[in-house]
Amino acid sequence: MSAKLSLRARAPESAARSCVLILVVAAVALAAFIAFQPLDYSTRATVASWSAVGLVLLVALAVSRASAERLDRFGVCTAIAVGGVFLICGLNLVTHDPSAASQAFLAFPVLWSAAHLQRAAVAVVTTTAVLGNGMSRVLILPLDEAMADFTYFGAVLVVMAVMLVRASARQDRLVAALQEQVTVDALTGLATRRAFDGALEAAVGRSAPGGTALILIDVDSFKCINDTYGHPVGDDVLVHLAQVLRGRVRFQDVVLSRLGGDELAVLMPGCTSDVAHHRAEDLLEAVRSTPMRLPDGGLLALSISVGVAHMSQDSADRRGLYIAADAALYAAKRAGRGRVSGAAS
The per-residue pLDDT for 287 is 95
* Percent of the chain residues past pLDDT 70, beyond the cut: 92
Rounded CA-CA distance 72/82 in Å is 14
Residue 188 is assigned to a structural domain of this protein? no
Distance CA 106, CA 153 (A): 9
Higher pLDDT, 99 or 307: 307
Cα-based distances in Å from 250 to 69, 245, 276, 279, 311: 32, 9, 14, 11, 21
Comparing 5-9, 130-134, 149-153, which segment has the lowest mean pLDDT? 5-9
Q: How confident is the model at residue 176 (pLDDT cuts 50, 70, 90)?
A: low
216 and 120 together in one domain: no
For residue 252, name the pLDDT band (cuts at 50, 70, 90).
low
149 with 199, same domain? no
What share of the chain in percent tops pLDDT 90? 50
Interatomic CA distance for residues 334 and 345, integer angstroms: 19
Domain end, chosen from 153, 182, 211, is at 182
Count: domains in the chain: 2
| Average pLDDT rounded to a whole number, residues 305-334 | 90
Q: Are 60 and 161 in the same domain?
A: yes
| Residue 242: per-residue pLDDT | 93
- Determine phi and psi for 309, rounding to 5 degrees: -135, 155
The answer as to whether 277 is a domain residue is: yes
Domain boundary among 157, 182, 207: 182
**Does 332 score more than 70 pLDDT?**
yes
Give the Cα separation of 189 and 184 in Å (integer). Answer: 6
At 340 the pLDDT is: 94
pLDDT tens digits along 23-35 = 999 899 888 888 8
Q: Tell me the three state secondary structure of residue 129.
A: helix
Domain-embedded: residue 81 = yes
pTM for the complete prediction?
0.56
CATH number for the domain harbouring residue 274: 3.30.70.270
Mean pLDDT value of segment 216-224: 94
pLDDT at 203: 79
The reply to whether 337 and 208 lie within a common domain is: yes
Question: Within a domain: residue 273?
Answer: yes
Instruction: Report whether pLDDT(178) > 60.
Output: no
Residue bearing the bigger pLDDT, 97 or 304: 304
HSE-up of 193 (CA within 13 Å, CB side)? Answer: 6
Quick one: DSSP state of residue 91? H
| Residue-range definition of the domain harbouring residue 75 | 3-182
Q: Is the pLDDT of residue 236 over 90?
A: yes
The pLDDT of residue 100: 83
- Predicted confidence band at 267 (pLDDT cuts at 50, 70, 90)? very high
Whether the per-residue pLDDT at 262 is higher than 60: the answer is yes
- Both 14 and 154 in one domain: the answer is yes
User: Does residue 187 sit within a domain?
Assistant: no
Is 202 in the same domain as 330?
Answer: yes
What pLDDT is stored for residue 4 in this prediction?
Answer: 44
Q: Are residues 156 and 201 in the same domain?
A: no
> Does residue 307 contact residue 332 with C-beta atoms inside 8 Å?
yes
Do 86 and 207 fall into the same domain? no
CA 286 to CA 94: how far, in whole Å?
76
Residues 60 and 15 in one domain: yes
Query: Do both 23 and 164 map to the same domain?
Result: yes
The predicted model gives 89-114 an average pLDDT of 88
Residue 208 near residue 291 (C-beta atoms within 8 A): no
Cα 325 to chain centroid, rounded? 32
Q: Are 134 and 156 in contact (CB under 8 A)?
A: no
- Do 167 and 239 lie in a common domain? no
How many angstroms separate the CA atoms of 255 and 289, rounded?
23
Per 3-state DSSP, the chain is made up of helix, strand and coil in percentages (nearest 5) of 65, 10, 20
**Could you tell me if 177 and 206 lie in one domain?**
no
Q: Is the pLDDT of residue 87 over 80?
A: yes
Q: Is residue 315 part of a domain?
A: yes
Query: Given CA atoms 248, 216, 311, 317 in this order, what sign does their dihedral have?
Result: negative
Whole-angstrom Cα distance, residue 246 to residue 338? 19
* Relative orientation angle of helices 119-140 and 107-116, to the nearest 10 degrees: 170
Across the range 94-106, mean pLDDT stands at 85
* Over residues 224-251, mean pLDDT: 90
Is residue 3 pLDDT above 50, yes or no? no
202 is a domain residue: yes
Q: Which of 161, 182, 203 is the last residue of a domain?
A: 182
Query: Considering the chain, what is the average pLDDT of its residues?
Result: 87
- pLDDT given at position 1: 40
Task: Locate all alpha helices (DSSP H) within the chain, ordered by sequence.
Answer: 3-6, 12-36, 43-65, 68-73, 76-95, 100-104, 107-116, 119-140, 143-183, 193-206, 222-229, 231-248, 273-288, 318-334
Instruction: Give yes or no for a contact between 67 and 9, defined as CB atoms under 8 angstroms apart.
Output: no
